[in-house]
Amino acid sequence: MPRGKAAKLWGVCVPDLPGKNAIEVRGVRKVFGAGEAQIAALDSVSVSIRENEFFTLLGPSGCGKTTLLRLIAGFDFPSEGEILLYGDDIAPLPPFKRPVNTVFQSYALFPHMTVAENIGFGLEMLGKPKAEIGARVAAMLKLVKMEQLAKRRTSQISGGQQQRVALARALAPQPKVLLLDEPLSALDYKLRKEMQIELKRLQNETGITFIFVTHDQEEALAMSDRIAVMSSGKILQVGSPWDIYDRPAVRFVADFIGETNFLDAEVVSVSGDRATVKLSSGSAIKATFPAGTMPAGKVTIVVRPEHAEVMPAGARAPVLGGIIENIVYLGTDTHFHVKLADGPPFIVRQQNSKSGPCGFDKGENVGIEISSDVAQILKD
């Protein structure tokens, strides 16, 4: 019963309730520098990360996601606020007293040790008996499929293998939470795809809470149970990949993740969780809006390119109308860059379900149909 043992070891009480929080960040602020040159890397950040969750911090570089990870690991200390691990404030503890391990972006493997020594280092520092360390290292090597390379120096193995060793090293002491700081960014595309699946498998097998930092939205969507989108030291939205992609709350989230179309609209009426908005073309459509808000007046709505469809002008009364400015053929699908009748550009992505040309030409007048229930009203 590894969890119970860990609990005794660390003296942290772990109640066995479903859906409890592994990490709770409460009103954390982190300021670097002093006086005039002060920079707030994190500004009143609060977020709860559930047990056994694959949680991703997503955002552009400099958004504070790595800072938040370093605060949880203990390499930096928050200027304000608290960080709870299963209910206990760990913010003042040094990193070597936190049952939390990190997989570093650079892997940070010890070059003067072998693969096996690297993996066993954490256990050795915890004062585990030799036999237990040996068994655990062997199990870890098996878990990351590196049994053959146990005696190698870390400089004698490839980048992908180093990645696996870094993972095994961080998992070996059975941390309560595993922190991953853009661990896949140094790998090439194919290896990255493989490791994404591998990471998901490891998380399922070990049942450890993963906190994953990345700037790659595709990676975040593919792996996460929940995603927190960050920008300028703030968390803008937390939700499932579907929430984040299909129901973005603010413009930054909609813009950062995937391609999207922004349209001006005016709220006509609200009933339940749907609002009816009038577009500048005159047509009215239904749109969803972020929970806890009450849309009114002039708003911006977003429509994903794949949720719209191009059709010959005049076939039916379309929602929008415009002229095709450009057609980009991408193999699996085709992008239509349409200039709407009242000015703004609009992108439609259509899957190439049939072979052959798409049947539209540049400069052609077309109508754009938007499927029901896909438009989302933004908060800002």
Partner 1 sequence: MASAAELAKTRARRDVRNRWLLSAPALLIILLAATGPLLIVLVYSFLAPGAYGDVKWQFSTDAWVSVLLERDIFDDTLSIADAHLSIFWRSVKLALGTTLLTLLFGFPTAYFIATRPERMREVWLFLITIPFWTNLLIRTFAVLEIIRNEGVVNKVLLATGVVEQPVQMLFTDFAIMVGMVYVYLPLMVLPLYASMEKLDFRLIEAGYDLYATRFKVLRRIIFPLVKPGVIAGSILVFIPSLGAYVTPSILGGGKNLMLGNLIELQFGQGRNWPLGAALSITLMAVVMVALLAYVRNAGDSEVRHG
Among 54, 121, 252, 289, binds partner 1 (CB under 8 A): 121
Helical spans, DSSP H, in 144-231: 159-171, 189-206, 217-223
Exactly one of 106, 204, 365, 372 binds partner 1 (CB under 8 A); that residue is 106
User: In the complex with partner 1, which residue's Cβ is closer, 127 or 297?
Assistant: 127
Q: Which of residues 152-191 bind partner 1 (CB under 8 A)?
A: 153, 169-170, 173
* 3-state secondary structure (DSSP) of residue 172: coil
Token digits for 124?
């050795």
Site membership for partner 1, residue 113 (CB under 8 A): yes
- Tokens 């360390």, residue located: 133
Cβ proximity to partner 1, 153 vs 278, nearer residue: 153
Binding mask 44-83 for partner 1 (x = CB under 8 A): -----------------------------xxx--------
Q: Which is nearer to partner 1, 122 or 318 (CB)?
A: 122
- Is the Cβ of residue 73 or residue 221 nearer to partner 1 in the bound state? 73
> Hey, which residues does 274 pair with through a beta bridge?
271, 288
Find the shortest distance in angstroms from Cβ 164 to partner 1: 16
CA pair distance 294, 4, nearest whole angstrom = 46
Distance CA 329, CA 336 (A): 9
Q: Per CB under 8 A, which of residues 287..306 are in contact with partner 1?
A: none
Task: Please identify, among the stretches 36-44, 110-118, 272-280, 326-334, the one whose residues bind partner 1 according to the rule CB under 8 A.
Answer: 110-118
The residue within the footprint of partner 1, chosen from 111, 297, 331, 356 (CB under 8 A), is 111
DSSP state of 328: E
Min dist CB 93 to partner 1, Å, is 11
Nearer to partner 1, 12 or 126 (CB): 126
Burial 83-92 (b: 16+ CB within 10 A, else e): bbbbeeebbe
The first and second tokens of residue 252, run together, are: 């930054």
Residue 108 per-residue DSSP state: -
The answer to whether residue 93 forms part of the interface with partner 1 (CB under 8 A) is: no
Given the rule CB under 8 A, which of 121-129, 140-148, 224-232, 293-301 is the region that contacts partner 1?
121-129
- Tokens 């670097």 correspond to 32
Q: What is the C-alpha to C-alpha distance for residues 115 and 333, in angstroms, rounded to an integer?
A: 45
Instruction: Give the DSSP letter of residue 229.
Output: E
Cβ distance to partner 1 smaller for residue 121 or 256: 121
- Cβ(50)–Cβ(228) below 8 Å: no
Is residue 27 near partner 1 by the rule CB under 8 A? no
DSSP 248-305: -SSHHHHHHSS--EEEEEEEEEEETTEEEEEETTS-EEEEE--TT----SEEEEEE-G
In sequence order, the β-bridge partners of residue 228 are 57, 238
Residue 340, Cβ neighbours under 10 Å: how many? 18
269 Cβ contact list (under 8 Å, min separation 6) = 275, 276
Q: Which is nearer to partner 1, 173 or 233 (CB)?
A: 173
Applying CB under 8 A, the site for partner 1 has a residue count of 28
> Is 366 in contact with 321 (CB distance < 8 Å)?
yes
CA distances from 42 to 34, 38, 82 (A): 15, 12, 13
CB closer to partner 1, 178 vs 375: 178
Q: Is 10 in the site for partner 1 (CB under 8 A)?
A: no
Longest dimension (CA), the chain: 79
Among 21, 67, 102, 224, binds partner 1 (CB under 8 A): 102
- The residue from 7, 40, 93, 95 that contacts partner 1 (CB under 8 A) is 95
Give the residue, chosen from 6, 26, 82, 104, that forms a contact with partner 1 under the rule CB under 8 A: 104
Decide: is 125 part of the binding site for partner 1 (CB under 8 A). yes
CB of 98 to partner 1, least distance (A): 8
Nearest to partner 1 of 209, 217 (CB atom): 209
Instruction: Write out the residues near partner 1 by the rule CB under 8 A.
Output: 73-75, 94-97, 100-102, 104, 106, 108-114, 117, 121-122, 125-126, 153, 169-170, 173
